[in-house]
Structure 1
Amino acid sequence: MIHSPGLLFTILAFALVIGPLVFLHELGHYLAGRLFGVKAEVFSIGFGKEVFGVTDKRGTRWKFSALPLGGYVRFAGDMNAASQPDAEWLMLPPEQRAQTFPSKPVWQRAIIVAAGPVMNFLVAIVILSGFALVVGDPGASSVAGQITAGSAAAVAGIEEGDHITAFDGQPVATFADMVSYVAPRPNTRTRVTFEHEGVPRTVQVTIGTRQLADRSGKAIAVGLLGINRPRISIIDAPGVGVRRTSQIVGMMAQGIGQIIVGQRSVRELGGPLTIARVSGEQMALGADAFVWLIALVSINLGFINLLPVPMLDGGHLFFYAIEAVRRKPVEPQVQEWAFRGGLAALLALMLLVTFNDLGSFGLWNNLAGLIG
């Protein structure tokens, strides 16, 4: 059982998750813009009125704004944070016009826009690669790593390098499958089938028990065999990070598809309040759980921003793809209406997820109880 931490702790955890990820996302845009010689006029963490900031020698205003749910980089030639072009850029002297975002070829603009989500995915890959180095790859095949001395597996004669194939006739393919079977069965007699140097063997094993405790101090018994994950080399770790990230993106895409076709409820969508609550809970559980959450949220930010919705990075990329095919930009009035529609859609989504968030906190049930 996970107990909700205090409000201040939750706010701090939320800030430590969202703040750095938003900064890194916008830093991706900024660095790509710098690469192609585009001047950044504003780098903002948050929206609305500036709280404090500083202007660097290149003329970029780095600032924190009042509403910290997001951020933006405004490049020279942009009319606003949505990167809509300002017609006045055409009137600038040639050397200044060359530093504006609209003056760049479509492929450079696309790279600049895509760099934000790409940065989010890179952050997740680095974190998940680090986890693979420290604790191994849960998606690896069910080959035994180091065997803990005196453990149930050691007593049963299982050795490092043995390939576990089944528990009580139930096949297992990955290390995660093994954990899923063993963890809920402490002190349970089970039949383990494995291959030792290519020779099939079957042994009876009594699953060991490890005592854990939740934040309230209540003891929880968890099954343990004493088989550790095979070690991942520093060369293989990035591959694990990429694979895990792609798997999570695939699950997100599948989840949205299921919501669209009605197989899952829109009530499963969560917003900032849910992220804040989960951030506090994971931070309270320890650094490893909290860092894992940062990786998941980073993937989520990258994925959502790539959706082809105007106002998001994916919406800009959609227009750039049309421009590349037509060899001319989409008409300004079409973009204007698309951005208005995208803004309306995003506001509606924010209302929906906030409604869901408040429901997850029990607000609607409490109100119903008061009315009833």
Structure 2
Amino acid sequence: MFLTLIAFAVALGILITFHELGHYWVARICGVRVLRFSIGFGRVLLRRTDRHGTEWAVSAIPLGGYVKMQDDPPPDASRAEAGRAFNNQSVWRRMAIVVAGPLFNLVLAVVFYAALDMAGTRMPAPILSQPEASSPAGRAGFMAGDRILAIDGHAVASWNDARWRLLDVLSSGGQAVLDVRPTAGGVQRRTLVLKTGNRLDPSQGDPLAWAGLRLEQPPPVVREVGPGSPGQAAGLQVGDTITAVGDLTGTLDASALVAYIQQHAGVSLPMTVMRGGVPISLHVVPRPEEIDGRKVGRIGIMLGGDVPMVTVRYGVLDSVWHGARRTGETAWMSLRMMGRMAVGDVSWRNLSGPVTMADYAGQSARIGLAAYVAYLALISISLGVLNLLPIPLLDGGHLLYYLLEVVRGRPVPERWMQIGQRTGLGLLVCLMGLALFNDFARLFT
């Protein structure tokens, strides 16, 4: 829990502070007087005033930051001082200052992605397991061991890349053309047809699995044998690869094996393992245990397996290009998903709030630095896109007012702005309430 809170606080601190740095930097270029740049909120702990009159502060609540500008000049201000007030700037300068914050978030995501590409990231290889015959992937002719090479002409380097491109197809319906390399070699082209969109409802499980597209799972390997457990009594040893149990044969994976054992509590099951390249026959009797009011079988071992991995690495220029392209594609897909949620094509359960964000921050931090940096990039894009939405109270809402000012030739009436502010506040409160509801629904289900 402590790591989760720290990881979340650091993420918000970095991303929101960088967002505000965009506003500050462009405001200074435009000659606007900045009164304070604060890292954090609440009571000021440390402060220093620079030669430009800006107070740099560190505040008590380390969840982001803010920039305070001189909105209107004081009554006794000189002409030069009045010219430094934000509200006295041209509409184009005000637009530049407002849009700078979200753009800085997008630029930061490019930097994060480029850094990951230059350092090299280990990701699962895009190799598929056997799909069900009735699934869209099964009907398209996909087979176990197919390695995805490209989707709709875009090269695929990892399972992460494949998931990202396929989720867009799943949410909108239609089809995707995949180039794959079967285990026999060569390259084949297969068309995945999805006549209706998948609503990407998190409560319904992995949407790619619904389409029959699953990452190839390694054979289950015994990582640990509990003392006095049924597994130890049967003769299982660390390093054994389980190839068959009962009537469950063929290509096994850990999840299928665990489910089968749980369903056969107290039943003597024949089991075949590979040990040092030699098949060995054993018998194991799962011990009955009561879990959530039902009886399941346990044999007291820990299973694992090594998923085939690839290292994705690019040079400096290619890394920047890939980072910019990935940021643009992610931002565009985020906007499309929001639109599909608005019309009901995508489930509103995908809307996440601070609880889920904090949970993901902690999980990614536990996985490693690369996963945490990728998380920061994704949240930075989300923050940039969200702030560009034309909702009053957000940066996009201010941009909307300024665009109306350009069209009308004069500022938006104060009454319009007040109505917009109340409407925007109500909309944001509703969205936050729904996001929190989804967060706690995930926690308790």
State TM-score, norm by structure 2. 0.60
Mapped pair 1:36 → 2:120: no
Mapped pair 1:123 → 2:108: yes
Q: 1:293 aligns with which of 346, 354, 375?
A: 375
In 2, the alpha carbon distance for the partners of 1:132 and 1:103 equals 44
Letter in 1 for 2:38: S
Matched with 1:344 is 426
Q: 1:175 aligns with which of 140, 157, 170?
A: 157
Does the CA contact (< 8 Å) of 2:148 and 2:162 recur in 1?
A: no
Matched with 1:282 is 364
Q: 1:314 aligns with which of 363, 377, 396?
A: 396
Superposed, 1:19-98 pairs within 5 Å as 19-47=13-41, 49-57=42-50, 58-65=52-59, 69-77=63-71, 86=72, 92-98=77-83
Q: Deviations over 1:322-372 (max 9, x none)?
A: 11122211112211221122122222222221222122221xx6xxxxxxx
Letter in 2 for 1:176: S
In 1, the alpha carbon distance for the partners of 2:160 and 2:435 equals 36
Does the CA contact (< 8 Å) of 1:50 and 1:63 recur in 2?
A: no
Q: CA deviation at 1:20?
A: 0.9
**Which range is displaced more, 242-251 or 61-70?**
61-70
Q: CA deviation at 1:209?
A: 7.8
In 2, the alpha carbon distance for the partners of 1:299 and 1:178 equals 17
In 2, the alpha carbon distance for the partners of 1:134 and 1:359 equals 37
**Which range is displaced more, 31-40 or 249-258?**
249-258
Letter in 2 for 1:193: G
Mapped pair 1:105 → 2:90: yes
Helix, strand or coil for the counterpart of 1:328? coil
Helix, strand or coil for the counterpart of 1:42? strand
Does the CA contact (< 8 Å) of 1:13 and 1:283 recur in 2?
A: yes
Q: CA deviation at 1:180?
A: 6.2
How much identity, in percent, do the aligned residues show?
Answer: 34
Matched with 1:11 is 5
Q: Deviations over 1:174-227 (max 9, x none)?
A: 22369969xxxxxxx9222159xxxxxxxxxxx9989899xxx95532443x87
Mapped pair 1:193 → 2:186: yes
In 1, the alpha carbon distance for the partners of 2:307 and 2:435 equals 37
**Which range is displaced more, 100-109 or 341-350?**
341-350
Q: CA deviation at 1:71?
A: 3.5
Does the CA contact (< 8 Å) of 2:218 and 2:305 recur in 1?
A: no
Q: CA deviation at 1:8?
A: 1.3
Does the CA contact (< 8 Å) of 2:14 and 2:64 recur in 1?
A: no
Does the CA contact (< 8 Å) of 1:310 and 1:341 recur in 2?
A: yes
Letter in 1 for 2:438: N
**Which range is displaced more, 318-327 or 171-180?**
171-180
Letter in 1 for 2:56: W
Letter in 2 for 1:172: L
Does the CA contact (< 8 Å) of 1:51 and 1:66 recur in 2?
A: yes
Matched with 1:135 is 120
In 2, the alpha carbon distance for the partners of 1:74 and 1:212 equals 59
Does the CA contact (< 8 Å) of 1:258 and 1:264 recur in 2?
A: yes
Does the CA contact (< 8 Å) of 1:113 and 1:316 recur in 2?
A: yes
Q: CA deviation at 1:35?
A: 0.6
In 1, the alpha carbon distance for the partners of 2:45 and 2:160 equals 52
Mapped pair 1:271 → 2:353: yes
Structure in which a larger fraction of residues adopt strand: 2
RMSD: 3.5
Alignment gaps of 5+ in structure 2: 127-142, 151-155, 164-181, 189-216, 224-300
In 2, the alpha carbon distance for the partners of 1:351 and 1:42 equals 31
Does the CA contact (< 8 Å) of 1:113 and 1:313 recur in 2?
A: yes
Alignment gaps of 5+ in structure 1: 1-6, 78-85, 143-165, 182-188, 196-206, 366-372
Helix, strand or coil for the counterpart of 2:439? helix
In 2, the alpha carbon distance for the partners of 1:309 and 1:76 equals 23
Q: CA deviation at 1:93?
A: 2.2
Structure in which a larger fraction of residues adopt helix: 1
In 1, the alpha carbon distance for the partners of 2:8 and 2:218 equals 37
Does the CA contact (< 8 Å) of 1:210 and 1:223 recur in 2?
A: no
In 1, the alpha carbon distance for the partners of 2:160 and 2:429 equals 44
Does the CA contact (< 8 Å) of 1:168 and 1:191 recur in 2?
A: no
In 2, the alpha carbon distance for the partners of 1:167 and 1:300 equals 35
Does the CA contact (< 8 Å) of 2:8 and 2:361 recur in 1?
A: yes
Matched with 1:199 is none
Helix, strand or coil for the counterpart of 1:54? strand
Matched with 2:413 is 331
- Cα 1:170/1:286, change in 2 over 3 Å: closer
Letter in 1 for 2:149: V
- Cα 1:285/1:136, change in 2 over 3 Å: closer
